[in-house]
Structure 1
């Protein structure tokens, strides 16, 4: 969709409940870059968190080393302290940081909004093309000149506001930050770890993050993203056309608030898809108990259970969850799978959650018996030295 100057709906201004908005600024900017968008959203953004990244904005005095991972971990720490669902909004380099933070935060992130996003994989510009960005440090005129070139609808007042955000950044840090977004992150070469709703917005006149860049390097990495563009805007639509961007964001938030919350099983099924012990751990309470027909006795504790489940997910050659129902704290999942060269297995998984939504007990029932016993022996082999052999059939059963 294309938006020129849509108004923010009255219900957004009235403060309809929803996830907390977290805004992540871009290269050489700071939290103040979001001021006009926050004002346009009114009460909907009354509890918004506008982060400052180390080395920029109000944290300009914080020295490195700097990295995209370090920025993402910094954002994730601040978001975890909110103890509430969030929508992460990142612009330019901040889009890279927001996506990485979403991967760290898991189900706490209801949605991701990427505004004029530098692709997570980076731009891979040659050294010659990067020289103007490296030269911005300590040169206010050069900085404003580049901003005017990329922000095609920045008037003098808006240009000066952005310029003043960039002026205090240490000259030596400017080149480091530029290299971070240009070189990108290895995760940008694969599908995004964020699987929830995603809004991708660009400025129609942006000569840097063009429609081709978005189509080729951003969109394919996300599952059914919503796409929007802001008319009469370049690389900083939130500053050039704050009312228009706030309107697009408010529309997306209305649709998000109307969606049912993520299914209780989402973290579990996603972890199987990723075949990742870390992804399983995000859904577990620290004292989780795992019971299964492939285990001689339960496995207890998040570290041990994530090891078992991470290994188990790699045994399956195919796995599909076919039915789901929820009753109180329990979720029931029916599934069908293949392993061992096409051998079919099926079963039921029962997940029990605590008041915080963490899984405290998982009971997994496999069938048929022969396949279950084979699965148990193979699982024991894959976690040998990490989980006691006594948990698995076909192994000697010394006491733990």
Structure 2
């Protein structure tokens, strides 16, 4: 999760919210934009294009799937980064978002924002006016951070979010999952601004309002915002997710796609699937890809954690959560032909109870396509048969 701060802020505005996240497997990355936080001595230009380039470079360096989170003026930044990297971006979170098209405020309204550089009293007044639950310690800290910014950087940053970007006048270039969060008492990014300037540009965005918060809900109500992010992470974490020990490959990305075609692209024509969920192997690309696509749909999450390769054989260790919260783990062995196509898949699952339930679920989902005798023949776990004593 890459988190980008808003106007006058720095990377540490996310610290409290991050501490409330319940998603233990998520790595969080924070940064200071040029001219902000620990980078107040950075040279210009301070433009939207530069900020987008900086955040994009961070995402590229990570080399992992990401959820991008941006607050206020950073909402346009992360949207443009996501639009340029749709294959890498699992989700987009816009907190109190300035519309990508900009605010285009009247001169008498925008000029006081331009003049905020180096003026602690004016910055305190703006923060208090646009928030409802700022703790004194948090408020004092962000005012110190904001007043470190050079006045010319403040003016340039205001120009970025007021002018906006031409792409803001058309549907967003990012079509993945989008979560929009605003504080119920935000007098700057109002409900009308969100509806007219933000939500309408996304096909299926989810909008959430946080009570007891103004323009900085991640600071004012960190627990509530963390819960919303946790819920998004559950939905967007791909079954084919990989840790830093596993390089993305056709097999792991096929789990993320959950489609028969993706699995088919990785398999040889005479591919064979042998697994602990099967009573006997599945043979042939068409049959194997049907089973694997259906299996990927049962997993709520699946993470490939470790990888080892020996010649044409690859070993992938994984852990997963299946529907209903059932936890599983195991090892997949992929044997490839000389062209790199997978000719044999061997999957070891555990524990036994979860294996049997998974097999029965797979049988039901494939009833009209795969011979059901390949799978466990009952929904319940087998019971130990009674021992019959012989009469003497």
TM over 0.5: yes
For 2:85, what is the secondary structure of its paired residue? helix
Deviation at 1:158, TM superposition (A): 1.7
Which residue matches 1:122? 102
Q: Supply the distance in 2 between the matched residues of 1:325 and 1:177 (Cα, whole angstroms).
A: 43
CA deviation map 1:222-259 (0-9, x unaligned): 12111111100000000011111111111111122377
Unaligned stretches of 5+ residues in structure 1: 1-20, 268-322, 332-354, 356-400
Deviation at 1:60, TM superposition (A): 1.1
Which residue matches 1:327? 264
Matched, 1:67 2:47: yes
Which residue matches 1:141? 121
Q: 1:109 to 1:222 in 2, by over 3 A?
A: same
TM-score by length of 1: 0.60
Which residue matches 1:186? 166
Q: Supply the distance in 1 between the matched residues of 2:5 and 2:25 (Cα, whole angstroms).
A: 16
Q: Supply the distance in 2 between the matched residues of 1:46 and 1:259 (Cα, whole angstroms).
A: 14
Q: Supply the distance in 2 between the matched residues of 1:184 and 1:152 (Cα, whole angstroms).
A: 27
Which residue matches 2:235? 255
Q: Supply the distance in 2 between the matched residues of 1:189 and 1:235 (Cα, whole angstroms).
A: 24
How many residue pairs get aligned? The number is: 259
Q: Supply the distance in 1 between the matched residues of 2:229 and 2:23 (Cα, whole angstroms).
A: 14
For 2:173, what is the secondary structure of its paired residue? coil
For 2:46, what is the secondary structure of its paired residue? coil
Once the two structures are superposed, the pairs formed by residues 1-400 of structure 1 within 5 Å of their partners are 21-41=1-21, 44=24, 47-257=27-237, 326-329=263-266
CA deviation map 1:336-384 (0-9, x unaligned): xxxxxxxxxxxxxxxxxxx9xxxxxxxxxxxxxxxxxxxxxxxxxxxxx
**RMSD value over aligned CA atoms?**
2.9
Q: Supply the distance in 1 between the matched residues of 2:171 and 2:240 (Cα, whole angstroms).
A: 24
Deviation at 1:105, TM superposition (A): 2.1
Which residue matches 2:282? none
Q: Supply the distance in 1 between the matched residues of 2:25 and 2:9 (Cα, whole angstroms).
A: 20
For 1:167, what is the secondary structure of its paired residue? helix
CA contact (8 A) 2:5 2:32 kept: yes
Unaligned stretches of 5+ residues in structure 2: 242-249, 254-259, 269-313, 315-392
Deviation at 1:78, TM superposition (A): 0.9
Flag the structure with larger Rg: 2
Q: Supply the distance in 1 between the matched residues of 2:267 and 2:7 (Cα, whole angstroms).
A: 45
Q: Supply the distance in 2 between the matched residues of 1:161 and 1:91 (Cα, whole angstroms).
A: 18
Deviation at 1:39, TM superposition (A): 1.0
Q: Supply the distance in 2 between the matched residues of 1:236 and 1:325 (Cα, whole angstroms).
A: 41
Which residue matches 1:365? none
Deviation at 1:27, TM superposition (A): 0.6
